[in-house]
Amino acid sequence: MSCAVQTGTLLGVEGVPVTAEVTLVRRLPGMVIVGLADSAVQESRERVRSALQHVGFEFPRKRVVINLAPANLRKIGTTFDLPIAVGVLAATEQVPSDTLADTVFVGELSLQGEVRRVRGALPLALLARESGARRIVLSIDDAAEAAAVPGLTVLGARDLEEVAGWMDGTRTIAPPAPRTDLRESPPLDLAEVRGQHRVRRALEVAAAGGHNLLMVGAPGCGKTMLSARLPGILPSLSAEEAVDITRVYSAAGLLERGQGLIRHRPFRAPHHSISASGMVGSARLTPGELSLAHHGVLFLDEIAEFRRDVLEQLRGPLEDRKIRLVRAAGTVELPAAISLVAASNPCKCGYAGHPTRACRCTEAQVNRYRSRLSGPLMDRMDLHVWVQPVDTSALVEGPRGEPSAAVRSRVEAARARQRARSPDAGGGCNAALTGDAIREAARPTAAAKRALEAVLECHGLSARAWARILKVARTLADLDGADRVGEDHVLEASSYRVPDRAEGGP
């Protein structure tokens, strides 16, 4: 007898349908797996055989041939253990095959028959729904994650015996429940920051419009502290964004056991020793830090210390808000709708432009240090801010700053205006606007156009800089509740774009 079991595999962060075709032939007993299967899939022969025998089923005394279709798609990982085992049981008529047509099976098997977790439970559950399946069977530890997909019955099994019992109608599988002991750390509050009013304003603008921000200043002036408080003023996730983020983390295998949807925007801060593949994605097409920061913030502390080839990988994704990853294993498109926040010292010793400490670097050393950030990358930073040390009296006796909750309310109001005006823009934020949509959203006044033209001519800025100044000005107008971009908005946006170089700006 032959049968077909629906399953799937991961390609980047997307699920791809795979059918495990199982048949028995009159040859020497054994199991053969075909269909461009890697070593982990080939090793499932021993896991499946041991699991079947351990839970009391008979392994057939014939040649078992498994074809993982489509045969031209490389199969990677241990996702296929459970569907292969179910196919063997159905082909040998040890369990009925009535439920195979509308069920997707996913899971790794232990030698004792336990169903274990796999990467990508959420993308595979989304695939099951899109393919028309009524249910998905997978590990009980992955069930809460897959249950985030509406319109799909999720069955979380502990072992192969439980799956077989459900198929022959002798057992039931309870619906999954997410873990209740998972607690997220509360975001840090901006109220703890004394002074730094200009940088706080830049953070608010970056959060409101999804813009990229570069902070330059001496060590200890608060760049990292301020960046760490950005998540506290970001708007709440929509349901669609939560699914997008969770899908990426699921494909990367970073979700905790029993975790459901991620409810906070990611804040990723990789070390400056990260490789290019760690930033954009590995040879096995798994997401890198850029994709893990999707719909959130990628923070690069001491950005000038990152390898230049790693930084240059950011140029395309910052414009396109996605990554086209080409590797030997295939070609995938990974999401990367991020806000980049970077911090840097003004020079190697860190004290160029410091009000009280002298810089020990020569002019050539300062220029060499700043040249680590290429012009094209700098051109993609919407906001450039010089961070000065806080005055001692303000630091010791100054009042607490405005709390994050108050800032977040203004940010969410600005984002609401952006979504209403440009619902098709990625994430509904001004940073995602392109082409004529920028001009249509900004609708600058005559005075604003004259101010923008003067800034471009005076500083010799590029066309990209023009677009980014106008997008930041649109965000400033949204924070003010204005329908059109005015002269004041253009001038403030330009001040972030053209910092005072005498202060040590980049």
| Total H helices, total E strands in the chain | 21, 16
Among 110-114, 173-177, 205-209, 235-239, the minimum mean pLDDT is found in: 173-177
Task: Write down the mean pLDDT value for the chain.
Answer: 90
Predicted confidence band of residue 160 (pLDDT cuts 50, 70, 90) = very high
For 92-96, 204-208, 271-275, 388-392, which range has the lowest pLDDT when averaged over its residues?
388-392
The confidence score (pLDDT) of residue 503 equals 44
CATH domain 2-167 topology: Ribosomal Protein S5; domain 2 (3.30.230)
pLDDT reported for residue 499: 52
Q: Which pLDDT does position 460 carry in this prediction?
A: 80
Cα–Cα distance measured from residue 317 to residue 323, given in angstroms and rounded to the nearest whole number: 6
Higher pLDDT, 401 or 253: 253
Average pLDDT over residues 232-244: 92
Comparing 96-100, 138-142, 502-506, which segment has the lowest mean pLDDT? 502-506
Q: Which of 351, 322, 325 is nearest to 336 (CA)?
A: 322
Domain ranges of the chain: 2-167, 190-422
pLDDT attached to residue 504: 44
Backbone angles phi, psi at 15, to 5 degrees: -85, 140
- What is the reported pLDDT for 446? 96
The pair phi, psi for residue 142, each rounded to 5°, is: -100, -5
Q: What is the pLDDT of residue 175?
A: 77
Q: What is the mean pLDDT of residues 258-266?
A: 87
> Is the pLDDT assigned to residue 357 strictly greater than 80?
yes
pLDDT reading at 248 higher than 70: yes
Distance CA 144, CA 181 (A): 13
Distance CA 344, CA 216 (A): 5
Q: How far apart are CA 162 and CA 168, in angstroms?
A: 10
Q: Is the pTM of this model over 0.85?
A: yes
Q: What is the arithmetic mean of pLDDT over 457-475?
A: 89
Tell whether domain 190-422 is in CATH 3.40.50.300.
Answer: yes
| Range name among 70-74, 365-369, 397-401 with the lowest pLDDT average | 397-401
328 falls in which pLDDT band (50, 70, 90)?
A: confident
List alpha helices for 391-445, DSSP H.
Answer: 392-397, 404-421, 436-442
- pLDDT per position as a tens digit, 271-294: 999 999 999 998 888 999 999 999
Higher pLDDT, residue 390 or 476: 476
For 16-69, how does the pLDDT look when each residue is reduced to its tens digit (9 = 90+)? 999 999 999 988 899 999 999 999 999 999 999 999 999 999 999 999 999 999
Confidence of residue 501 (pLDDT cuts 50, 70, 90): very low
